[in-house]
Amino acid sequence: MRPRFHVPGVNPATERVEMPEDEAEHLVRVLRLGVGDEVDVFDGRGGLWRAEIVQVGKKSAAVRPIEELEPAPELEVRLNLVIGVLKGDKIDGVVRDAVMLGVSSIQPVITERSETSRAAMARSNRLARWQRIAVSSAKQCHRAVVPPIHAVAPLDWYWSEKHDAARVMCVEPSAALGDVVAVQRIRKAPATDLIIGPEGGWAVSEVAAAHDSGAILMSLGGRTLRADAVPMVAMTALLTMWGELK
């Protein structure tokens, strides 16, 4: 199996495409590949090519696309994950696994019970780290799409934005506002936003805002799950119900 590299600027019409520095350094220093070796390169938007290495330097490399390849299939449904920011590095694993399951985008949000702020998130440069994790995960699971991870935003902003996707919020079964629907009853839609809270769960006002915005309140059952486990459980359950995990 040929090594895979993310090269956003790859263009089959060109004879030479420069690789990003981090990918080139991995190619040269870790894998020790050289001119004439073949690799697979993908653009992060669904394009995948077999390519030949045509130049290497200490921290640089260039490739020439040879043959367009068929990438791993994407989900039929557009599933977007809206996730309350978790403590420490717990979202790292959420990003990794969500990309492997086929998520279309990830929107981290600050909620009332989040234990960090947008300013702290910016200082720690977590967004750049999550984007690198998304690339690595796409490479590992053979996706040719790297789903975008958006900048952290307040949950209130999310509700104010217009969306064409169905909104499904995971809540405790005891949520008081409106009917709480079991995951098995969530119908497949062309696009769905799956909304998951932080460790402390949702404030009553946040569930009310979701209800007022027309979101479906969904339960995963009577057990209390870890916040970092909920996205994977919910995504797997929904995708199985919708016939997406074939």
Domain borders along the chain are 4-68, 78-241
Render the chain in DSSP notation, one character per residue.
---EEE-TT--TTSS-EEPPHHHHHIIIIIS---TT-EEEEE-BBS-EEEEEEEEE-SS-EEEEEEEE-PPPPPPSSEEEEEEEPPSTTHHHHHHHHHHHHT-SEEEEEE-TT-SS-HHHHHHTTHHHHHHHHHHHHHHHHT-SB---BPPPEEHHHHHHS--SSEEEEE--TT--SSPEEEGGGPPP-SEEEEEE--TT---HHHHHHHHHTTPEEEE--SSPPPTTTHHHHHHHHHHHHTT---
Per CATH, the architecture of 78-241 is what?
Answer: 3-Layer(aba) Sandwich (3.40)
Contact 80, 189 (CB under 8 A): no
Q: Where does 4-68 sit in CATH, by number?
A: 2.40.240.20
Query: Is the model's pTM score more than 0.75?
Result: yes
Question: Using one digit for the tens of pLDDT, what is the confidence trace for 37-87?
Answer: 999 999 999 999 999 999 999 889 999 999 999 999 999 999 999 999 988
Question: Using one digit for the tens of pLDDT, what is the confidence trace for 142-176?
Answer: 999 999 999 999 999 999 887 789 999 999 877 66
210 φ, ψ to 5°? Answer: -65, -45
Contact 239, 183 (CB under 8 A): no
Which of the residue ranges 33-37, 48-52, 86-90, 238-242 would you say has the lowest mean pLDDT? 86-90
Whether the domain at 4-68 and the domain at 78-241 fall into the same CATH topology? no
Q: What is the mean pLDDT of the chain?
A: 91
Contact 167, 207 (CB under 8 A): no
Q: Which residues contact 123 (CB under 8 A, 6 or more apart)?
A: none
